[in-house]
Amino acid sequence: ANAAAIGEHWVGGGAGYKHLVCITLGTGVGGAIIINNQVWRGANGAGGEVGHTTVIENGVLCGCGAPGCLEAYASAPAIARQAREALHTDEESVLRTMCGGDPGQITSAMVSQAAQEGDAVALAVMHRAGTLLGVAVASLTNLLNPEIFVIGGGVINAGDLIFDPIQHEIEKRAYKWSASILKVVPARLGDDAGIIGAARYFVISD
């Protein structure tokens, strides 16, 4: 996650900003923090674990062993899991057709596509993921006062279905003075962010 953040900070969505948070929504929820153009790693290198920010008290158990982590709701596997669970009580969702009648085959990409087509189950899942991501972003805004959040990973292909609830939660929860300068943008470098960031780190460390 740190390498991706360095890449996005150098030539991606965070270029030109000194203080940023990079969040990647993939198989997990990765995070990295850059303050005064330097990656903040914390006391023993574990800084930036955005995915393990608690967003629901006593929520779903995360893979890390703690309940209610953001990763348990907004990662790609978590989005697919929530859609599968919702299908237990919904017979009409287009997701049933997309997965060939086997809910175990549902992916976050299917959920994103179904949401963009107006499917109620998929819309609810994506809205919840965006809302809880927004809760975390608002908390980090209050704590760190960054200029920008750069959000990447395949989940952002849902576009406004993810970004609108994020913005709503920022407006609802973030300290107004911090929120007044804040931008939330999609990552630009895609899967190349880590490679580009690693190259940049090598150059500046040489």
Please check whether residue 197 is in contact with residue 5, taking contact to mean a CB–CB distance below 8 angstroms: yes
Q: Residue ranges of the alpha helices (H) in the chain?
A: 2-11, 71-74, 76-86, 95-98, 108-116, 120-144, 160-173, 176-179, 193-205
The structure tokens 């009580």 sit at 89
Q: What is the pLDDT of residue 205?
A: 55
Query: In sequence order, which residues have a C-beta less than 8 Å from that of residue 42 and are 6 or more positions away?
Result: 48
Rounded CA separation 155/124 (Å):
14
Rounded Cα distance, 146 and 18, in Å: 8
Q: Which portions of the chain are predicted below pLDDT 70?
A: 1, 190-206
Model-level pTM? Answer: 0.92
* pLDDT value of position 51: 97
Per-residue pLDDT reduced to its tens digit, 24-81:
999 999 999 999 999 999 999 999 999 999 999 999 999 999 999 999 999 999 999 9
pLDDT of residue 44: 96
What per-residue confidence (pLDDT) applies to 193?
63
pLDDT at 154: 87
Residue ranges of domains in the chain, CATH in brackets: 2-201 (3.30.420.40)
Q: In Å, what is the CA distance from 98 to each residue of 101, 106, 107?
A: 8, 8, 10
Distances (CA, A) of 10 to 4, 13, 76, 194, 200: 10, 9, 26, 11, 8
Give the per-residue pLDDT at 11.
73
CB 68 within 8 A of CB 56: yes
184 within 8 A of 137, measured Cβ to Cβ: yes
- pLDDT score at 202: 54
User: What is the predicted pLDDT for the residue at 204?
Assistant: 58
CA–CA dist 146, 17 (Å, integer): 9
Tell me the three state secondary structure of residue 91: coil
Q: What is the pLDDT of residue 4?
A: 76
DSSP 90: -
Distance separating alpha carbons of residues 124 and 126, to the nearest angstrom: 6
DSSP letter assigned to residue 22: E
Q: From 45, 71, 67, select the one nearest 56 (Cα to Cα).
A: 67
